[in-house]
Each structure stands twice: as structure tokens, then as C-alpha cells.
Structure 1
Amino acid sequence: MKGNYKGLQESFGTHLKKIRESKGLSLRALASKCDLDDSQISKIENAKWDVQLSTIFELAKGLEVNPKELLDFEL
């Protein structure tokens, strides 16, 4: 798993973006719904930010989904 960490980040970011767009939210709109900056969300979606568990919960709150939905993606 350690060698594929970048792939994990990319898959998570792609999944996050897909959910965000399916909800019709811009980066700025999602950021305003949770305790994050739109640039942080952009970096997560582009696999340039190491997402923490607390961030996943903030994103889930802003997207109005269960946190496990954010972790339900293919590698």
C-alpha cells in the first residue's frame, strides 16, 4: 500500500470531485458549507494535499453525505 499512496490520493480526489459535482457545488460553495478553504479542497481533488480523517468528516458534512460514502471508491 505504501508504494501506491499517490494512487490512493488520486482516487479519493477524483471521487470527491465526482460527488461534489453531482451535488451541483462549486469548490467555493462546498468550502462555505464546511470548515475548509476552497484551495484546500482543490488540492485534495488534485492529489496535492494529504487528506486527514477530520477533513473527510468536514467534507462529508458539507456534502451532506455519510463519511463512508467518501471512502467508497475504486483504486
Structure 2
Amino acid sequence: MISDDVKREFLVRFGKRLNKIRKSKGLSYRKLATLCETIDHSYISKIEKGEANITLETILELLIALGASPRDLFDFEIQL
């Protein structure tokens, strides 16, 4: 069973990676949202804060909008 702490750490670290990539491309929440088909800027904020457990479809949409690879978003370590 995965502990709640590990789950939370994973979401937070994923959010930090998304934030870093978004900022490196000079994108605001709103600009990134306009590049996505179905993601609202407020939801992007929640993802970056580790407050949202997103779907693979959302990850795919973010990857396309950012012009990034899955490796870019998942380039972090967590303590298991």
C-alpha cells in the first residue's frame, strides 16, 4: 500500500517540475491554459501546488502544450 505521504510527495514534485518547465518557457498559467484544449488556468495552479491528482490525458495535453517529453515532467526522485 502506498502511504499518503508518498502520494502527496509525488504530486508536489510533479507540480514543481511542471512549474519549472512552464516558467522556463515564459508562460503564465493563462497562456499555458490557452495552449491546452481543456485545462483551465486555475487547474494548472492546483496541479503545480500538488493539489490535483491528474489523469494521463491531462498529462498528455500538458506535454503537447509545453512541447515537452514525459521524461521532462517526471524528472524527479521520491522517497519510497
Q: Structure 2: where are the runs of 5+ without partners?
A: none
Identify the match of residue 13 of structure 1 among 12, 15, 22: 15
Report the alpha carbon displacement of residue 27 of structure 1 after superposing the two structures with TM: 0.3
Instruction: Give the structure with the larger helix fraction.
Output: 1
Computed over aligned residues only, the root mean square deviation of the Cα atoms, in angstroms, reads: 1.2
Code of the aligned partner of 1:28: R
Counterpart mapping for 1:1-75 below 5 A: 2-3=2-3, 4-35=6-37, 36-75=39-78
Give the distance between the partners of 2:23 and 2:77, measured in 1 at CA.
Answer: 18
Which is bigger in relative contact order (C-alpha 8 A, separation at least 6)? 2
Tell me the CA shift for residue 34 of structure 1: 0.8
How far did 1:68 drift? 2.8
Q: What is the number of residues matched between the two proteins?
A: 75
Query: 2: CA distance between counterparts of 1:66 and 1:54?
Result: 14
1:6-39, Cα deviation, whole Å (9 max, x unpaired): 0000000011000000000000000000121001
User: Percent of aligned positions with the same letter in both sequences?
Assistant: 45
- Larger Cα-atom Rg: 2
Q: TM-score w.r.t. structure 2 length?
A: 0.86
Q: Which amino acid aligns with 1:58?
A: E
Amino acid at match of 1:34: C
**Runs of 5+ consecutive residues of structure 1 not aligned to the other structure:** none
